[in-house]
């Protein structure tokens, strides 16, 4: 059965009040789940978000547990094709079992999402890549190092990729010798993973910098020994709640978060005139005295403005006075939401596949919407909250992929949002 959200808009009034706690980060949890392949014993998890993508990753892992003797470990095609993060499993699986078979990974439709950086990295570590039908088969070298082993390598990424950094880092943990990843991603989820792996026997340096150095164990598996991986708070959820509170909040406190992970957003919020108070692990947004002012945005790898907050930010800008541009530097085709916001009353010009111009403020009105992707879906919830009248957002499952029981949590702030089976 499919479900959708029904949201009674506040017609621009700022009425939401209370506190909302941030859940564990999807993009951290998925990678830590993939990393469990490197372990000899069970990895306990804390603060794991109860979301669809986590369940899918657990299913993929369960399917890997008993690799077939003939084919070696294979990532289930139907799941991997829907989950971009599935590709991260290829690194530790190849490192442990000497081979891995997987389909081209799926996920949200965000323009081109190639996998060349992964394949080149595996090759640099001595593996061979074969394409059979629509599957990739990667095998470690069978030379003097022993069958199926990876060897450390110096890998320079021509462009920064979060999942390629994670995948090759995990592969390198069990390799022979040292691997150096240059122009690596610096996202805090990677730092959290490194910290945990190092506690369990890995030797990884350079977290939060563009150069990550891994001294491989030569095949010795990691051991959790009862230590739990504690999922860090989701910074995209944090940022989305900040934007929602700035547009529709009287006074809202976002708890259980890491404010410094959303600095790029908070700087722009303050510049736009939002009243932001920051504590150790909370952010309070209060209704400000002034009209919000437009601010232009350019997405960037961490610590820059996250592309995953780009759609919620566009909704924010429809309510600001003036003109602003959003320059999307990471993905093509990430403005699929623009047409729907225009239908709701926004003034948005798509200038090219990477740039839009938003003029505001424009009141938004109710519409029947369909979630375009996971992050876009939350942007639609925010737009529906700001709008006048009752909107519906189909494809609730796309929002459920990344946000845990979102309707129950927003109801507590005073929003009338319901889930309806259709």
In the bound complex, what is the minimum distance in angstroms from residue 243's beta carbon to ligand UD1? Answer: 16
CB 274 within 8 A of CB 292: yes
DSSP string for residues in 13-34: ---EEEEEE--B-HHHHHHHHH
Q: Toward ligand UD1, which CB reaches closer, 60 or 162? A: 162
Nearer to ligand UD1, 163 or 294 (CB): 163
Cα separation of the two ends of the chain: 7
Residue among 363, 312, 367 at smallest CA distance from 340? 367
Q: Is 333 in the site for ligand UD1 (CB under 6 A)?
A: no
Which pair of structure tokens corresponds to residue 16?
């939401």
Segment interacting with ligand UD1, rule: CB under 6 A, options 33-41, 113-121, 203-211, 357-365 = 113-121
For residue 292, the minimal CB distance to ligand UD1 (Å) is 26
CA 392/CA 234 separation, integer angstroms: 26
Q: From the list 307, 318, 385, 391, which residue makes contact with ligand UD1 (rule: CB under 6 A)? A: 307
Instruction: Please say whether the beta carbons of 309 and 243 come within 8 A.
Output: yes
Question: Applying CB under 6 A, which of residues 52, 176, 234, 308 lies at the interface with ligand UD1?
Answer: 308
* Residues whose CB is less than 8 angstroms from the CB of residue 349 and which lie 6 or more positions away in sequence, other chains included: 356, 357
Tokens of 34: 């993939």
CA atoms of 235 and 256, how far apart (whole Å): 10
Answer yes or no whether residue 113 interacts with ligand UD1 by CB under 6 A: yes
CA–CA separation, 171 vs 91, rounded Å? 4
320 is catalytic: no
Judged by CB under 6 A, how many residues of this single chain contact ligand UD1? 20
Strands 45-46 and 229-230: parallel
Please tell me which residue in 108, 200, 257, 320 is annotated as part of the active site.
Answer: 108
Rule CB under 6 A: say whether 391 interacts with ligand UD1: no
- Contact call for residues 252 and 284 (beta carbons, < 8 A): yes
Q: Which of residues 117-136 bind ligand UD1 (CB under 6 A)?
A: 117-118
We find the least distance from the C-beta atom of residue 421 to ligand UD1, in angstroms, to be 28
The H or E element that residue 79 is part of is: helix 77-80
Decide whether 71 or 116 has the Cβ nearer to ligand UD1: 116
By the rule CB under 6 A, 331 interacts with ligand UD1: yes
Minimum gap (Å) between residue 83 Cβ and ligand UD1? 8
Q: Which is nearer to ligand UD1, 72 or 376 (CB)?
A: 376
Closest CA to 176 of 201, 205, 130, 144: 144
Among 10, 115, 153, 384, binds ligand UD1 (CB under 6 A): 115
Q: Which of residues 155-184 bind ligand UD1 (CB under 6 A)?
A: 159, 161-164
Between CA 62 and CA 39 the distance in angstroms is 14
Using DSSP, state whether 224 is helix, strand or coil. coil
In whole angstroms, how close is the CB of 105 to ligand UD1 at the nearest point? 8
* Closest to ligand UD1 by CB, 114 or 279: 114
DSSP secondary structure string, 104-157? PP--S--S----HHHHHHHHHTT-EEEEETTEEEEE-B-STT-TTB-B--EEE-
Beta partners for residue 204, in sequence order? 214
Closer to ligand UD1 by CB, 102 or 331: give it: 331
35-94: which residues touch ligand UD1 (CB under 6 A)? 84-85
The yes or no reply on residue 116 touching ligand UD1 (CB under 6 A) is yes
CB of 179 to ligand UD1, least distance (A): 17
> In angstroms, rounded to a whole number, what is the distance separating the alpha carbons of residues 243 and 237?
10
Among 34, 127, 173, 330, binds ligand UD1 (CB under 6 A): 330
Contacts of 110 (CB under 8 A, 6+ apart): 331, 332, 333, 334, 373
Q: Does 274 bind ligand UD1 (CB under 6 A)?
A: no
Q: How far is the CB of 394 from ligand UD1 (least distance, A)?
A: 22
Shortest distance, position 161 Cβ to ligand UD1, whole Å = 3
Among 69, 112, 133, 134, binds ligand UD1 (CB under 6 A): 112
**Residue 27 engages ligand UD1 in binding (rule: CB under 6 A):** yes
> Which span (154-162, 264-272, 315-323, 344-352) binds ligand UD1, by CB under 6 A?
154-162
For ligand UD1, give the closer residue by CB, 20 or 155: 155
Contact set with ligand UD1 (CB under 6 A): 27, 30, 84-85, 112-118, 159, 161-164, 307-308, 330-331
Instruction: Supply the residues annotated as catalytic.
Output: 108
């Amino acid at each position: 059965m499919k479900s959708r959200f029904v949201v009674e808009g506040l017609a621009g009034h700022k009425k939401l009040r209370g506190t909302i706690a941030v859940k564990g980060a999807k993009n951290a949890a998925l990678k830590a789940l993939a990393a469990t392949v490197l372990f000899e014993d069970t990895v306990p998890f804390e603060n794991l978000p109860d979301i669809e993508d986590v369940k899918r990753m657990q299913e993929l892992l369960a399917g890997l547990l008993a690799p077939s003797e003939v084919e070696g470990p294979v990532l289930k095609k139907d799941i991997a094709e829907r989950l971009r993060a599935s590709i991260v499993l290829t690194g530790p699986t190849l490192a442990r079992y000497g081979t891995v078979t997987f389909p081209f990974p799926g996920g949200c439709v965000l323009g081109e999402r190639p996998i060349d950086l992964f394949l080149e990295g595996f090759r640099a570590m001595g593996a061979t890549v074969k394409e059979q039908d629509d599957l990739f088969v990667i095998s470690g070298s069978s030379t003097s190092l022993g069958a199926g082993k990876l060897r450390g390598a110096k890998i320079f990424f021509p462009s920064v990729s979060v999942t390629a950094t994670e995948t090759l880092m995990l592969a390198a943990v069990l390799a022979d010798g040292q691997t150096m990843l240059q122009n690596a991603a610096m996202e805090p989820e990677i730092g959290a993973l490194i910290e945990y792996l190092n506690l369990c026997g890995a030797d990884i340096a350079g977290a939060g910098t563009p150069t990550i150095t891994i001294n491989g164990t030569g095949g010795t598996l990691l051991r959790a020994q009862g230590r739990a991986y504690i999922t860090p708070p989701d910074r995209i959820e944090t940022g989305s709640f900040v934007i929602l509170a700035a547009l529709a909040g009287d006074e809202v406190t976002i708890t259980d978060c890491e404010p410094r992970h959303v600095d790029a957003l908070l700087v722009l919020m303050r510049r736009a005139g939002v009243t932001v108070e920051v504590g150790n692990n909370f952010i309070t947004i209060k209704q400000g005295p002034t009209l919000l002012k437009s601010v232009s945005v350019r997405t960037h790898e961490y610590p820059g403005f996250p592309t995953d907050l780009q759609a919620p930010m566009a909704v924010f800008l429809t309510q600001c006075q003036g003109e602003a541009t959003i320059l999307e530097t990471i993905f093509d085709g990430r403005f699929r939401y623009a047409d729907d916001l225009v239908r709701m009353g926004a003034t948005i010009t798509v200038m090219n596949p990477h740039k839009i111009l938003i003029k505001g403020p424009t009141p938004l009105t109710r519409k029947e919407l369909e979630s375009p992707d996971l992050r876009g879906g939350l942007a639609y919830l925010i737009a529906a909250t700001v709008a006048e009248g009752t909107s519906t957002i189909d494809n609730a499952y796309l929002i459920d992929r990344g946000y845990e029981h979102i309707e129950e949590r927003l109801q507590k702030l005073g929003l009338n949002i319901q889930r309806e089976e259709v």
